[in-house]
A = this chain, B = another copy of it.
Amino acid sequence: MKLIEPTLLLDKNKCLQNIKRMLKKANQHDVRLRPHFKTAQSWEVGRWYREQGVSGITVSSLKMAEYFAKDGWTDITVAFPVNILEIGRINQLAQQIRLNLLVMNVDSVLYLADHLKKGVDIYIDIDTGYHRTGLPADDYEHIDRILACIRASDKLHFRGFLTHDGHTYQVKGKEAVNKIYQQSVSLLHGLKQKYRPQWPELEVSLGDTPSCSLVEDLSGVDEIRPGNFVFYDLMQATIGSCTAEQIAVVMACPVVTKNEATNTVVIHGGAVHFSKDFLIDEEGKPYYGQMVLLTDEGWTEPVEGYLVALSQEHGTVQLPEDVAESVQVGSVLGVLPVHSCLTADVMGHYFTLEDEKIEMMPK
């Protein structure tokens, strides 16, 4: 394929391996994989999951739920505290699919009970340590009030407790991630024990990519909802969730100028292609991607070259001397992204190595 402009390459084979590996692990421990589709945001990638037997999915907005419902998904969890202003869209979607919503306050639940025209499933958002959203696992008073509202409504069906351990992104290695996971499972188990007598079918759902990748035995929960693992990225490689070789996306960027004296090149590839998420190197400096060399079959293992500066369309790359020698104006370099979800989001589409264009959810 002829690359002439910044292009997000997707190695379908690596992506399929990532899907199959996670699904196998979930099946082994009798846990449902309900993958988060916010990473790829794509019908086509969604179909690769479906071909592997996945039937329920997670999304991060109602708009995204609508998008995937149009492609035939009929069991969708919106893992974002319900936005009551979207009640019209919720009612419309609930007529078509099994819609699972997330709540964390009585106000929203009462509003739903008053305005829903069709039944929906409800998860209560539990904060097991990330402190972004969710009720503390011991806030029984609040949980009981929400459950009472659910019980009183013929439109609300309690499904269980859901958490997102985003704080696994702030640690490194299997041991640290495992510690967070075990803590969360213990809290979720406590809730399950407490509320199962009244709600015998309640489930607990957890789902960050580091936990789902690194924890060996996932049988402590009923459902996992990882998303990023479908592509992985440098952030996950740094945490230890994946190897660099498992990263399934690479930005291909043309070199527009080269400084022979410093072994730096400027590429067409900036914040509108990568987003601005970064990692910090050993010297405390930010970097936005790591270099690979493109080959006929895809790309090589990473080389010691980094995307060290980023403006709207410019990227500055520091190359090792031996690589710099072979790079010139008109070369195309590969860059492993720091955060594949955001890189995919700003790019808006992919090209497979077979030059097939894969569309994403329109903005």
Contacts and interface: CB of A to CB of B under 8 A. Distances in A.
Interface of A: 3-5, 38, 60-63, 80-86, 88-89, 104-105, 107-108, 111, 132-133, 166, 254, 256-258, 266, 268, 271-272, 275-277, 309, 311-314, 316, 328-330, 332, 341-342, 345-349, 362-363
Closest 8 CB pairs of A and B: A348-B363, A4-B85, A81-B256, A60-B313, A276-B276, A107-B329, A83-B254, A84-B330
A151 B350 CA distance: 41
19 contacts: A4-B83, A4-B86, A4-B88, A5-B63, A5-B83, A38-B312, A83-B254, A83-B256, A111-B329, A133-B266, A133-B314, A271-B275, A272-B345, A276-B276, A276-B277, A276-B342, A312-B341, A346-B346, A346-B363
A341 B275 CA distance: 12
Q: How many copies does the complex hold?
A: 2
Contact of A166 (B3, B82, B86, B311): B311
A275 to B, nearest CB: 6
A112 B330 CA distance: 12
Contacts of A38: 312-313
Contacts of A104: 257
A363 to B, nearest CB: 3
A80 B272 CA distance: 14
A209 to B, nearest CB: 12
Contacts of A107: 328-330
Given A132-B314, A133-B266, A133-B314, 6 more contacts: A38-B313, A61-B268, A80-B256, A81-B256, A83-B256, A272-B342
A133 B267 CA distance: 11
A179 B88 CA distance: 55
Nearest to A60: B313
Interface centre among A4, A132, A166, A329 (most CB of B within 10 A): A329
A332 B85 contact: yes
Contacts of A345: 271-272, 312, 346
Contacts of A257: 81, 104-105, 108, 133
A111 B61 contact: no
B312 A85 contact: no
A322 B316 CA distance: 45
A92 B363 CA distance: 29
Contacts of A332: 85
Given A61-B268, A111-B330, A82 B256 contact: yes
